Amino acid sequence: MTTPLLRPPRKNPLLRTRQMNLPPGARSRVALGLTAAAAEGHFRLQTCDDCGTVQYPPREVCHQCLSAALRWRPQSGAGTLLGSTTLHHSNELFFRERLPWRLGLVQLDAGPTLMVHLHGEVGDAPQRVRVGARLDRAGQAVLIGFPNAESAPMADDEMLREMTSDPQFRKALVTDGKTGTGQAIVRALAQAGADIIWVGHAEPWKKTGTGLDEIAALPQVTLVPLDLTDGRQVAELAGAIGGKVDIVINNAELHRTFGIGARRGTDVAKAEMEINYFGLLRLAQEFGPALKGRSADGVAGATAWVNLLSIYALSNFPPHGTFSASKAAAHSLAQCLRAEMRPAGIRVINIFPGPIDDEWNQHLPPPKLAPGALAHAIVKALRDGVEDVYPGDVAQEWLERWRDNPKVLERELAAGG
């Protein structure tokens, strides 16, 4: 059984801060197909269209019939553990600091035999297990053998916690607590066991209802002034709490409707860019180095950065044209942030929701994503260790159409569908 995680002791300020050593991260281009699936929480293996063989490790051609017609298809992961071993020595620095480390050989029902990391609740061979793909601290896919029957403290497994960003006992910053979405995120983090939640609020003189007062009453919550358009304020907040934050959730956004011709001037578009793009840039410049410096700081070290983007970032939605453009710019910047944070083992998670059920989407017909559902998707992404999340029916449909043919989707959206 997995030992439930206890609240970590306070850090001794006299001890040096550990620096992150990453696991081996080299992968071939074809093997990155496994990583691409794991980044969205899926376990896929190459399947031959000609003979139906499921193969692992990834190859350029089918090992059975030499066909190049290979597709990455979802797998159940069901299989049998054939044997296991425990490493007590390794030449890799990442594993040397985390020994002992348990590995197993699993025969999948689909055919291939895999070498996997073993969850602590998996017993001795032979027994049935379930294989899943996760991203390690280097951002590459690894395979993990899980027990068939899950228990409550499974996420507390030391090996699994190294590969996820569970909010339990961690300290988080939510950049905007004035919106219904931000308040739902704060409640979800508190329910997930976050230790401290700093909640930003711009223009504190503006009264926006009782929601902010309600979350401020939670014992984990501390309100902090944060206006992402004010570089000095962002820098001051980073100086005050940057060395303590483990998870940054940037949900601050400015959302206005209309495209190019329906509104004169550039003031609204500039305001959207000022928060949606430049706000993310200011936040990353100030908080990014602090997170990178604490990424190896024990079981509750700095671990993740979450960006609330939009499915409109993939293909412009003309009725919300300038907003879509600002989110597309933020998406590109988030990819740069991910590349810069990866060497420190910090996971950058991008959330691409469809229309959220708020005041700026009140004229859009259902289905719309409830703020509580979005908050649940963010916490689940942190716990599962994924990189890209598309919550809601609309986002899933748009993603499927975009992957099928981006140009067709552009034409459909231009025609209003």
**57 part of a folded domain:** yes
pLDDT digits (tens, 9 = 90+) for 61-108: 999 999 999 999 999 999 999 999 999 999 888 888 888 999 999 999
Query: Which stretch of DSSP H or E encloses residue 79?
Result: strand 78-87
pLDDT at 405: 96
Q: Give me the mean pLDDT over the 385-405 stretch.
A: 95
Whether 90 and 62 share a structural domain? yes
Of 47-61, 157-171, 182-196, the one with minimum mean pLDDT is 157-171
Whether 270 and 342 share a structural domain? yes
Whether 361 and 382 share a structural domain? yes
CB 275 within 8 A of CB 254: yes
**Angle value at C-alpha 151, between 147 and 153, nearest 5 degrees:** 110
Q: E strands of 136-226, at which residues?
A: 141-147, 171-174, 196-201, 221-225
pLDDT at 5: 66
**Computed from CA positions of residues 70, 72, 78, 79, in that sequence, does the dihedral angle turn out positive or negative?**
positive
- Going from the C-alpha of 73 to that of each of 43, 105, 347, the distances in angstroms are 8, 22, 25
Q: How confident is the model at residue 207 (pLDDT cuts 50, 70, 90)?
A: low
pLDDT digits (tens, 9 = 90+) for 286-305: 999 999 988 887 777 889 99
DSSP state for residue 209 in the 8-state scheme: -
Say if residue 190's pLDDT is above 60.
Answer: yes
Whether 143 and 247 share a structural domain? no
Residue whose C-alpha is closest to residue 312's, from 381, 268, 360 = 360
Single out the residue in 161, 190, 225 at which a domain terminates.
161
Whether 317 and 204 share a structural domain? yes
Whether 150 and 191 share a structural domain? no
Whether 262 and 374 share a structural domain? yes
Top-confidence residue, 407 or 209: 407
Say if residue 208's pLDDT is above 90.
Answer: no
Residue whose C-alpha is closest to residue 378's, from 391, 394, 360 = 391
**359 part of a folded domain:** yes
Whether 177 and 153 share a structural domain? no
**Angle value at C-alpha 62, between 58 and 68, nearest 5 degrees:** 100
Distance CA 417, CA 414 (A): 7
**27 part of a folded domain:** no
Whether 257 and 377 share a structural domain? yes
Say if residue 192's pLDDT is above 70.
Answer: yes
Q: How many domains does the chain have?
A: 2
**48 part of a folded domain:** yes
Q: Kindly report the pTM of this predicted structure.
A: 0.93
**20 part of a folded domain:** no
Q: Give me the mean pLDDT over the 164-180 stretch.
A: 93
**24 part of a folded domain:** no
The DSSP bridge partners found for residue 222 are 198
Residue with tokens 């604490």: 294
Whether 123 and 183 share a structural domain? no
The DSSP bridge partners found for residue 221 are 197
**388 part of a folded domain:** yes
Say if residue 1's pLDDT is above 60.
Answer: no
Whether 187 and 317 share a structural domain? yes
pLDDT at 416: 79
Q: How confident is the model at residue 156 (pLDDT cuts 50, 70, 90)?
A: confident
Average pLDDT over the chain reads 91
pLDDT at 220: 95
Single out the residue in 126, 161, 196 at which a domain terminates.
161
What does 365-414 look like in DSSP terms, one character per residue?
A: PSP-B-HHHHHHHHHHHHHHT-SEE--SHHHHHHHHHHHH-HHHHHHHHH
pLDDT digits (tens, 9 = 90+) for 360-378: 777 778 899 999 999 999 9
Query: Domain range spanning residue 118?
Result: 32-161
pLDDT at 6: 65
Distance CA 251, CA 183 (A): 10
CB 188 within 8 A of CB 326: no
Q: How confident is the model at residue 28 (pLDDT cuts 50, 70, 90)?
A: very high
- Going from the C-alpha of 375 to that of each of 191, 267, 378, 381, the distances in angstroms are 11, 31, 5, 10
Single out the residue in 161, 184, 216 at which a domain terminates.
161
**269 part of a folded domain:** yes
CATH of the domain at 263: 3.40.50.720
* Beta sheet of 247-250, edge-to-edge order: 221-225, 196-201, 171-174, 247-250, 304-308, 347-351, 388-389
pLDDT digits (tens, 9 = 90+) for 312-354: 999 999 999 999 999 999 999 999 999 999 999 999 999 999 9
pLDDT at 205: 61
Say if residue 359's pLDDT is above 90.
Answer: no
pLDDT digits (tens, 9 = 90+) for 227-286: 999 999 999 999 999 999 999 999 999 999 888 988 888 999 999 999 999 999 999 999
Share of the chain above pLDDT 70, in %: 94
pLDDT at 209: 65
Q: How confident is the model at residue 406 (pLDDT cuts 50, 70, 90)?
A: very high
Q: How confident is the model at residue 206 (pLDDT cuts 50, 70, 90)?
A: low
Whether 263 and 232 share a structural domain? yes
